[in-house]
Amino acid sequence: MKAILKRTKMGGVRELFTLALPIVISQSSETLMVFTDRVFLSRLGADNMNAATAGGITSFMLITFFFGLIGFSTALIAQYFGSKNYENCPRVTVQALGISTLAYPIILACIPLVFWFFSSTVVSESQLLLQKQYLKILAFGSIISLFRHTISCYFSGVGRTQIVMISALVTLSVNVVVNYILIFGKLGFPALGIEGAAYGTLFSALCGLVVLLYYFFRNDNAKQFMVHKAFRFHAQITKTLFRYGSPAGVEFFGNLVAFSILVSIFHSYNEVTATAASIMFNWDMVTFVPLTGIEVGVTSLVGRYIGANKYYVAERSAYSGVKLGFFFSLVVAIMFVAIPGILVDVFRPIGEDPVFVQSRPIAMTMLQLAAIYVLAESILVAFVGALRGAGDTIWTMWASMILHWLFVPALYLSLFVFDIGPVNAWGIIVVFFLCFSFMFYFRFKGGAWKRISVIERGT
């Protein structure tokens, strides 16, 4: 890989591709893992799939603030790495692990509040019971996800993204096998349904964490980055993480709360719309999450070159992210427009299901509209990644949260006041997203991020 980077134009598409590809594969593996669970559960009926969609989003919502906060460690580690201050790289990770540990009891304390929120939504009793079961198990295992995310951010920051990929592929492989066994009751195990999906997800995440810890403590990494000196409290690094990571955490949490409400509004309209929206959002997840791999790659590359005081290369890295993301999104958009029926039928239940039959044409049209949405995402992820890599997290937080929270009243008014139907309502959301994606371009173009100083040079 070192030889490839030497022959590569700094900040160009090839360098970003080399760095981001393992992350894209990693994120794709995570997406495929969740997607496979949804497909397995769809065989048990629409209630199971809808419960896993709503419960999974909400369980992730509980950890999003801490995910966002910890996620800034990628940019911070990258800047230390770029400035050749290698000793501070694992120190950032250790502080982030401490934050993860403190976060765990807070997450558990929020479970009753989430159950109250579930009960206030208009969904069937059977779906409500399944949602609660699924969320409770995932929430109790959230410490595994937090630790795994923390160590992944370390390897993304130092540019060893292939290790993140290996961990993700192990997680995916274990998840598909174990979840199939536990959901359907194979090899002598009882059929646990949606509970089996949750237990299998946590077990596979634990396997992925073990892989990351092995490489973190392995002799080559431990020597180069002096890992043995990292296990102590470092006030300045912790302060920096909270200062620049907290806005990212608030943004992540606020956006997912808004998204969770969006899903609930669709689910509250009627069961047919709930099923159509679940299918569309599951495919949206499949296409969006790999793009976040490009976002992480841009964050790491921009942070590294800012740490090395090469701002012109950092800027080139962002535009390389747009090119790479747009190519991927164009392929997805063509697929959404050309074969929506095939994509929707992936979630067809075993046996005749009248709800699925009615939801199918709605889901197909929503997927076709999502083709515009995924093209806008390619612009968004590149510039969001670049701004975060530079430490411009406060502006990013406000812009992103305002955007997502405008979706909520727009969707509610469209469905329950003007009653224009789910397809037209989704079309309005897509137009909103397309317009606001350019806000991030103009912010980056303005260059305010170049005046932000995250680390002290020579420390």
d(CA 438, CA 152): 30
Q: What is the mean pLDDT of residues 97-123?
A: 88
Closest CA to 10 of 292, 320, 291, 455: 320
Q: Is the pLDDT of residue 457 over 90?
A: no
User: Which range among 29-33, 141-145, 450-454 has the greatest average pLDDT?
Assistant: 141-145
Whether the Cβ atoms of residue 300 and residue 389 lie closer than 8 Å to each other = yes
Local confidence band at 122 (pLDDT 50, 70, 90 cut-offs): low
Place of tokens 């090119």: 323
d(CA 128, CA 98): 34
pLDDT tens digits, one per residue of 316-371:
999 999 999 999 899 999 999 999 999 999 888 777 788 899 999 999 999 999 99
Closest CA to 283 of 365, 201, 169: 365
d(CA 89, CA 407): 38
- pLDDT at res. 459: 41
Closest CA to 86 of 94, 77, 95: 77
**Per-domain residue ranges of the chain:** 2-451
- pLDDT at res. 82: 92
Q: Is the pLDDT of residue 8 over 80?
A: no
Whether the Cβ atoms of residue 327 and residue 375 lie closer than 8 Å to each other = no
Residue 396 has, within 13 A of its CA and on its CB side, a CA count of 29
Q: What is the mean pLDDT of residues 175-186?
A: 92
Closest CA to 325 of 375, 400, 281, 372: 375
Tokens of residue 235, six digits: 């006030």
Q: What is the mean pLDDT of residues 71-79?
A: 93
Q: Is the pLDDT of residue 1 over 50?
A: no
pLDDT tens digits, one per residue of 283-310:
887 777 778 888 989 999 999 999 899 9
- pLDDT at res. 353: 81
DSSP structure string for 355-395: HHHHHHHHHHHHHHHHHHHHHHHHHHHHHHHHHHHHT-HHH
344 DSSP assignment? H
